[in-house]
Chain A
Amino acid sequence: MSTPYYVPETSVPLPPPEADVIATACDYCVVACGYKVYRWKVAGGRVGGPRAEENAFGEDFPVNPLGAWVAPNMHNIVLHNGEPHHIVIIPDKDTEFVNYTGNSSIRGGALAQKVYNPQTPTRDRLQQPMVRMFGVLMPVTWDFALDIAAEVGNYVLEKHGTNAYGVKTFSYGYMENTYAITKYALRHVRTANFTFHDTPSDVTSTPGFRDAGFDNFGPSYDDWADAETLLMCGTDPYESKTILYTDYIMPAILGGQKAIFLLPRKTAGVAFAEKNGGLCLDIQPGTDLPVVLAIARVIVENGWEDTEWIQNWVNNKWESSSGFGQGTRNTPWQWRTTWGQFQTAGFEDWKAWLLAQDYAIPENAAELAQIDVQKIYTAAEWMAKPRADGSRPKTSVMIEKGFYWSNNTGNTQAISALGITVGAGGRPGQVIGRAGGHQRGGLRGGGYPRNKSPEKLPGRRRRAMDTDRYLMSGHTRLAHVIGTTWVQAMCGSQSLQAKFDELTTRNPHQVDSFEKEDIIATLKKRVDSGGMVVWNQDIYLVDPIGARYADIVFPASGWGEDTFTRANGERRLRLYPKFYDAPGEAKPDWWIIANLAKRMGFEGFDWENSNQVLEEGARHSRGSRKDFNMVLVKARQEGKTLHEKFAEFGTNGIQGPVLMDGDGNLVETKRLHDVARVLPAEGPQGRNVFNKKLTHFNSQTGKCNIQKAPWSLFSSYWEWLKPREDEIWISSGRINERWQSGYDDRRRPYIVQRWPENWIELHPTVAEARGIESGDYVQVYSDRIPVQKDTIVGVEGSDFDFASLLRNGHIELTRASITAVAIVTPAVKENLGYMDFLHTAQPANALAGRVVDWISGNYNYKMGVGKVRKMGESPYKHNFRSMSFARRDIA
């Protein structure tokens, strides 16, 4: 890890004119800004000069604001074809889209510090496969590690069944890798014990959007800027998708856009909006739903709804039911509607339901949320009140995890209905969607075998397996973990970790031999004894999943170390080319999976390079929001590879779904559900796919389902959970400067200096009552972390309601405690402590209940409670070198 003391440099080498220039995109947030890598040999000692003709930028130094400046953090030295090369990585000053001003966030600005250089804190990159022998992970050959993995893997499948083989993987680590992983896990292994990095179950993140017919990433970035009123729920885009804020929303606010935030905590983007006339509905955690419905109520009571839109684009009684009641009723969007809790007979029916909900009366909602009720009325007015000339404000609605991981089903149903009411969806500046977290690098190589899942809900409803609960029950005998922290990234993480300990390190069958056959035999015995073996693919050794639990570690390569492809939050597909050598024997995940699969006897894994993987996977993208199959068709017409074709688009990329017109030109898609878009009358030709969502909504009729969002589905949990006595809400989320688990940031001295460890923002009243000052170490703890321990067969409609689970003994209360550095600030709601969501040593998720949203199967990560007490002073309290306790919401 990096020292927290950072000595800034005072000069930087400039790339000479002959430097290689490689266009790529950022590795981090969903916005995926365009970058250029400048690369030149160290040998010869050549560097560029300050005059335009002496450097690769063609710029005179000093450069202008927004110019091609190279901060020292943007320079590094790497091996390329085995030879040392300088690299300089700066945001692309020529790109036309996304970061069109040549701007970047602090994350992307430090990209050069992520690449492997043994002179920097990246020196602990995993470089050789390792097998745990005598309790220690020892470097071995690929053959040795893969032989063991293949034989034990097949043994588990044959003896304990496919569901005993668990695969927990990143969902976004580039399409070449996710295709290979899902092809292996879902098409060949066919396990239902499969999910992604941020959820215990492979289920939709936004069930309400799915039911309404909204794609998560339908809008274009221009739409967010074109909105006249923008409601942002559960995120400050400045903090985690910076360029979307600074280059789209910020100029829009200065141009008169009315920005409304629904958030319990204020950061710079909120402060800027408020200073410029914006509004922050500073709710307490979990009360989004009543507030959203109260806004909707004010709108419909005043008759401000978008009547014409509703008439054209909302399903009536008969349309709502069409397509239902047929077939198996065994897809999530079908069975959610059969609860009788959500489906309506159209707008008027929904309106009648809404007006009958007491908690949606503005005064009641404001009381629940502890906000000024006037803000509800103001928000309703801004979003929907027609102007004097009868024209309507163009209103858009953005949501993100603070919102949809608080009351997953309820919040997403409520916001969809509000969005429909104000006419958001499918028109310029009038859209609804997610802002996004990570980039969109998923490509499915197989379908999820839902019928193999044990999760049986009332009625004929089967939901994807809760892989955490399955593991807690001892059914997972082999955990294959790819590029994710798993333990601390899930809820109630400390009791989850205790189970991992029991199944792995505390199992009596530990490898005490260096002979391959002995190792295999021991691991089989552990599996048979009810224990678990762990394979871990990653770029760094993660504690505990790799460092403590893994029996085999496969070193992976990442960004810049192979050529990959991925889309951003407006479906823009770009190529991320290889520009330097991966360290040691590290291999891309697709290669690791392919070589394991071949040894296990699976066919169809004979790829020679990442381009071949993507070319095979292209047809699986058809009909998806990032459909790029026609790019492959075009590439083949031109005698190019798919990667070569993507490279031609550079940092501009190409916006999916990509169609082909009659003249053979590729046609991009600016927004989904684009009701004004005219597609060729003769319909799809050749391999073109005209998915319904190009011009309509993603529902049974192509129109929106306006659905009910009963508070009662969540209120029993919320009422039980809400702070008692001296407890406060404990919530968490991203902080601008730190990406995911901080796997790169922990190795950047500059970032470590700012955030050496986890912290908790506390309101002055809470802090004062406990004698806590900024810079103090505090303990954040609770003895009532609820954990759903049993997998039950649901019969009655309420079997999975929290009150029923509690009454019937399916909830266990566990203890948890983590430490943090206190930051006392009025920027948080009074009864809320807010932390970074994923420090591996101080995981905030330890305080969040491991109880899934009982309709969707997602965790409500943002819902935790705990007590806070002072431990003493941290070294940062009086030391000027590290951290800052100044408020982050200065405007």
Chain B
Amino acid sequence: MSTVDPKIRAAINGANDEAKKAGTRPCLMNRRSFLLTGGIATTVVMVGVPGMPEAQTPAAISTYPRKLIARLSELNVDEPFDFEYPDEGFYAESILVRLGQRAGGGIGPDQDVVAFNYTCTHQGGALQGTYQAGDKALGPCPLHLTTFDLTRHGIFISGQAYQSLPQVLLELEGDDIYAVGMFGLIYGRFDNLQG
């Protein structure tokens, strides 16, 4: 335990072990247990290993709603589907897209279905309608031109964003795609779940 940076632990479990208090589904519990006993170094290597199932990705917070958003069979490559997550509040609008190529955190048989928040993590510009099929990117943001790589966990390609585009964590159950959590803080909010 002592090898885990407290800040990272807090990011995973909540500041005061909120995740533990809130109770959670067994798979997430396992994931977290693995994180804290296996040591953070091991875990981040696993995060980076291509081909690992999505469930190995450390969900940062486990108190997110599990929300059905779409059916895999209805998604066409490069045709974004919009949804709201984790609530219907400000800046909740998100993109679900089948990229047609394998992506970090991607689900489905081709690991190519990903979801991201639509609000630029620089100054809050709206990225709706900026999906670039050729580059598998969102942007350029109309405010200050930031672009984000959807194949690589929403990392900026070029520009000014203060963090990666928040990635919506997905789970596939049969043909149903569920949003189950998020990586990264949504623009405008101080806490993803509190607005």
Q: How far is the CA of A396 from the CA of B105 in the complex (A)?
A: 48
A3 at the interface (CB under 8 A from B): yes
Residue ID in chain A nearest B64 by CB atoms: A10
Residue among A10, A69, A736, A879 with the most chain B CB within 10 A?
A: A10
**Which residues 54-91 in A have Cβ within 8 Å of B in the complex?**
61-67, 69-74
**At the interface with chain B, which of A105-113, A447-455, A758-766?**
A105-113
Residue among B7, B137, B144, B183 with the most chain A CB within 10 A?
A: B144
- Chain B residue contacts of A65, Cβ below 8 A: 123-126, 143, 187-188
B153 at the interface (CB under 8 A from A): yes
Residue ID in chain B nearest A12 by CB atoms: B190
Interface residues of A (CB under 8 A from B): 3, 5-14, 50, 61-67, 69-74, 103-106, 109-110, 119, 238, 242, 246, 250, 267-269, 272, 736-737, 750, 753-754, 878-884, 886-891
- Chain B residue contacts of A242, Cβ below 8 A: 144, 160
CB-CB under 8 A for A50 and B103, given A8-B164, A71-B163, A890-B137 = no
Interface residues of B (CB under 8 A from A): 5-8, 11-12, 15, 44-45, 47-50, 58, 60-61, 89-91, 103-105, 121-126, 132, 135-137, 139-140, 143-145, 147, 149, 151-153, 155-164, 166, 182-192, 194-195
A sample of 17 more A-B contacts (CB under 8 A), given A11-B15, A62-B187, is: A5-B44, A5-B45, A5-B48, A9-B184, A10-B61, A10-B182, A10-B183, A10-B192, A12-B190, A50-B194, A61-B188, A62-B189, A63-B124, A67-B188, A69-B124, A70-B190, A246-B160
Whole-angstrom distance from the CB of B139 to the nearest CB of chain A? 7
- Chain A residue contacts of B195, Cβ below 8 A: 50, 61-62
Of A62, A119, A889, the residue contacting B91 (CB under 8 A) is: A62
Q: How far is the CA of A6 from the CA of B194 in the complex (A)?
A: 23
Q: How far is the CA of A414 from the CA of B195 in the complex (A)?
A: 56
CB-CB under 8 A for A9 and B60, given A246-B145, A881-B104 = yes
Residue among B8, B48, B145 with the most chain A CB within 10 A?
A: B145
Q: Are B185 and A886 in contact (CB under 8 A)?
A: no
CB-CB under 8 A for A11 and B185, given A880-B50, A890-B140 = yes
- Chain B residue contacts of A268, Cβ below 8 A: 140, 145, 147, 158-159
Whole-angstrom distance from the CB of B47 to the nearest CB of chain A? 6
Residue ID in chain B nearest A888 by CB atoms: B158
- Chain B residue contacts of A238, Cβ below 8 A: 145
Q: Can you list 7 residue pairs at the A/B interface with Cβ under 8 Å? A: A9-B11, A10-B182, A268-B147, A268-B158, A754-B155, A880-B153, A888-B158
Of A8, A66, A878, A882, the residue contacting B166 (CB under 8 A) is: A8
Q: How far is the CA of A103 from the CA of B190 in the complex (A)?
A: 19
Of A7, A119, A737, A753, the residue contacting B60 (CB under 8 A) is: A7
Q: Are B162 and A62 in contact (CB under 8 A)?
A: no
Of B145, B149, B183, B191, the residue contacting A11 (CB under 8 A) is: B191
- Chain B residue contacts of A753, Cβ below 8 A: 155
Q: How far is the CA of A890 from the CA of B147 in the complex (A)?
A: 8
- Summarize B's interface: helix, strand, loop or mixed: loop
Q: Are B11 and A10 in contact (CB under 8 A)?
A: yes
Residue ID in chain A nearest B44 by CB atoms: A5
Q: Are B60 and A272 in contact (CB under 8 A)?
A: no
Whole-angstrom distance from the CB of A100 to the nearest CB of chain B? 13
Q: How far is the CA of A462 from the CA of B113 in the complex (A)?
A: 67
Whole-angstrom distance from the CB of B132 to the nearest CB of chain A? 6
Q: How far is the CA of A882 from the CA of B149 in the complex (A)?
A: 11
CB-CB under 8 A for A887 and B135, given A11-B185, A110-B162, A268-B158 = yes
- Chain A residue contacts of B11, Cβ below 8 A: 7-10
Whole-angstrom distance from the CB of A230 to the nearest CB of chain B? 17
Whole-angstrom distance from the CB of B36 to the nearest CB of chain A? 14
Q: Are B157 and A890 in contact (CB under 8 A)?
A: yes
Residue ID in chain B nearest A77 by CB atoms: B7
CB-CB under 8 A for A886 and B47, given A73-B162, A110-B162 = no
Q: How far is the CA of A44 from the CA of B44 in the complex (A)?
A: 33
Q: Are B155 and A64 in contact (CB under 8 A)?
A: no
Q: Are B60 and A106 in contact (CB under 8 A)?
A: no
- Chain A residue contacts of B139, Cβ below 8 A: 890
Q: Are A119 and B6 in contact (CB under 8 A)?
A: yes
- Chain A residue contacts of B161, Cβ below 8 A: 106
- List 3 A-B pairs, minimum CB-CB distance, nearest first: A880-B104, A65-B124, A71-B162
Q: How far is the CA of A203 from the CA of B140 in the complex (A)?
A: 41
Q: How far is the CA of A14 from the CA of B47 in the complex (A)?
A: 30
Q: How far is the CA of A141 from the CA of B103 in the complex (A)?
A: 53
- Chain A residue contacts of B188, Cβ below 8 A: 61-65, 67, 69
Residue ID in chain A nearest B143 by CB atoms: A65
Q: How far is the CA of A586 from the CA of B103 in the complex (A)?
A: 45
Whole-angstrom distance from the CB of B134 to the nearest CB of chain A? 9
Residue among A7, A67, A74, A109 with the most chain B CB within 10 A?
A: A7
Q: Are A69 and B187 in contact (CB under 8 A)?
A: yes
Residue ID in chain A nearest B103 by CB atoms: A880
Q: Are B123 and A66 in contact (CB under 8 A)?
A: yes
Q: How far is the CA of A109 from the CA of B8 in the complex (A)?
A: 21
- Chain B residue contacts of A890, Cβ below 8 A: 132, 135, 137, 139-140, 147, 157-158
Q: Are A886 and B104 in contact (CB under 8 A)?
A: no
CB-CB under 8 A for A62 and B123, given A5-B47, A7-B44, A736-B158 = no
Q: Are A8 and B162 in contact (CB under 8 A)?
A: no
- Chain A residue contacts of B140, Cβ below 8 A: 268, 272, 890-891
Residue among B6, B105, B140 with the most chain A CB within 10 A?
A: B140
CB-CB under 8 A for A104 and B48, given A119-B5, A880-B103 = no
Of A69, A72, A104, A886, the residue contacting B149 (CB under 8 A) is: A886
Whole-angstrom distance from the CB of B19 to the nearest CB of chain A? 11
Q: Are B192 and A11 in contact (CB under 8 A)?
A: yes
Q: Are A103 and B144 in contact (CB under 8 A)?
A: yes
Residue among B90, B124, B136 with the most chain A CB within 10 A?
A: B124
Q: Are A67 and B48 in contact (CB under 8 A)?
A: no
Q: Are B191 and A881 in contact (CB under 8 A)?
A: no
Whole-angstrom distance from the CB of A459 to the nearest CB of chain B? 48
Whole-angstrom distance from the CB of B65 to the nearest CB of chain A? 14
- Chain A residue contacts of B149, Cβ below 8 A: 884, 886
Q: Are A881 and B187 in contact (CB under 8 A)?
A: no
Q: Are B157 and A14 in contact (CB under 8 A)?
A: no
Q: Are A8 and B158 in contact (CB under 8 A)?
A: no
Q: Are A3 and B145 in contact (CB under 8 A)?
A: no
Q: Are B50 and A50 in contact (CB under 8 A)?
A: no
Q: How far is the CA of A302 from the CA of B191 in the complex (A)?
A: 62
- Chain A residue contacts of B60, Cβ below 8 A: 7-10
Q: How far is the CA of A64 from the CA of B188 in the complex (A)?
A: 7
Q: Are A10 and B162 in contact (CB under 8 A)?
A: no
Whole-angstrom distance from the CB of A208 to the nearest CB of chain B? 32
Q: Are A881 and B160 in contact (CB under 8 A)?
A: no
Residue ID in chain A nearest B154 by CB atoms: A8
Q: Are A71 and B121 in contact (CB under 8 A)?
A: yes
CB-CB under 8 A for A272 and B121, given A8-B164, A74-B162 = no
Q: How far is the CA of A879 from the CA of B51 in the complex (A)?
A: 10
Q: How far is the CA of A105 from the CA of B160 in the complex (A)?
A: 5
Whole-angstrom distance from the CB of B98 to the nearest CB of chain A? 16
- Chain A residue contacts of B147, Cβ below 8 A: 268, 886, 888, 890
Whole-angstrom distance from the CB of A427 to the nearest CB of chain B? 29
Residue among B6, B132, B189 with the most chain A CB within 10 A?
A: B189
- Chain B residue contacts of A882, Cβ below 8 A: 48, 152
Residue ID in chain B nearest A63 by CB atoms: B188
Q: Are A754 and B156 in contact (CB under 8 A)?
A: yes
Q: Are B5 and A880 in contact (CB under 8 A)?
A: no
Residue among A103, A104, A106, A882 with the most chain B CB within 10 A?
A: A106
